[in-house]
């Protein structure tokens, strides 16, 4: 199967509609990851086909669960690294304004180059440690794949969230097995565990399929 065929199949299974030209942009992004991955130590995944499943589809599948308002909505991707999940989200939802944060100068150089080559006018890059980042306004959603522990993510990033906004963590595989879900989204009032967003491609690769959605109150944490 080609990367394009895998992307088309995965988007169909996720029932996601993308803007005109977005699929081509996503595949160009995969090509950039494959080209610059070794030089910039961006990702351990080198195979473009695996990048589609484990990077693109994993990032895009969370879209229906993000509490992004219509209109002037802003999202921060903390510890973005190779631009995940921020760049796929920015491509899929051009109305969202996305800021990619990373402490690595080399990775931020790649993020800026990728933003230019993909003509992403809705993306900015912020270089530096997240703890020292003081944005002019809070973000509706702060998302990350970089934190191994949910508590560390909340502690480091809660100051970035706008009033009524949310923190959304995409846990590592071990956390997914523990929680039985693939996305943890925390707001002041509750914590939601979202499942059923992994593509069937990814589910087959893991030998399981994530289903359902659970909601857990603060006093049950």
Q: What is the pTM of this model?
A: 0.81
C-alpha to C-alpha distance for 95 and 79, rounded to whole angstroms? 22
pLDDT digits (tens, 9 = 90+) for 118-139: 999 999 999 999 999 999 999 9
Domains assigned to the chain? 3-165 (3.40.50.150)
Long-range contacts for 26-30 (Cβ within 8 Å, ≥24 apart)? 26/56, 26/88, 26/91, 26/92, 27/3, 28/117, 28/118, 29/56, 29/83, 29/87, 29/88, 29/91, 29/114, 29/118, 30/3, 30/55, 30/56
pLDDT digits (tens, 9 = 90+) for 12-68: 999 999 999 999 999 999 999 998 887 777 888 889 899 999 899 989 988 988 889
Ramachandran class of 53: left when φ > 0, alpha when ψ lies in -120 to 50, beta otherwise: alpha
pLDDT bin (cut points 50, 70, 90) of residue 91 is very high
pLDDT digits (tens, 9 = 90+) for 136-192: 999 999 999 888 787 888 899 999 999 888 888 886 444 444 444 455 555 543 344
Judge whether residue 108 has pLDDT over 90: yes
Judge whether residue 212 has pLDDT over 90: no
CA atoms within 13 A on the CB side of 213: 9
């Amino acid at each position: 199967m080609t990367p394009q065929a895998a992307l088309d199949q995965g988007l169909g299974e996720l029932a996601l509609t993308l803007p005109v030209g977005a699929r081509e942009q996503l595949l160009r992004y995969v090509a950039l990851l494959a080209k610059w991955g070794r030089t910039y130590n961006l990702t351990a995944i080198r195979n473009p086909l695996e990048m589609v499943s484990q990077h693109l589809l994993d990032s895009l599948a969370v879209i229906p669960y993000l509490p992004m308002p219509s209109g002037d909505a802003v999202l921060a991707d903390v510890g973005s690294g190779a631009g995940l999940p921020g760049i796929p989200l920015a491509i899929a939802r051009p109305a969202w304004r996305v800021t990619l944060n990373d402490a690595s100068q080399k990775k931020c150089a790649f993020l800026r180059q990728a933003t230019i080559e993909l003509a992403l006018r809705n993306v900015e890059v912020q270089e530096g440690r997240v703890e020292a980042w003081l944005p002019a306004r809070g973000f509706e959603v702060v998302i990350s794949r970089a934190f191994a522990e949910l508590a560390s993510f909340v502690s480091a990033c809660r100051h970035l969230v706008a009033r009524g906004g949310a923190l959304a963590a995409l846990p590592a595989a071990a956390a997914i097995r523990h929680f039985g879900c693939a996305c943890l989204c925390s707001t002041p009032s509750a914590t939601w565990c979202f499942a059923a967003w992994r593509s069937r491609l990814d589910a087959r690769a893991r030998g399981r399929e994530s289903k359902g959605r659970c909601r857990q109150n603060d006093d049950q944490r």
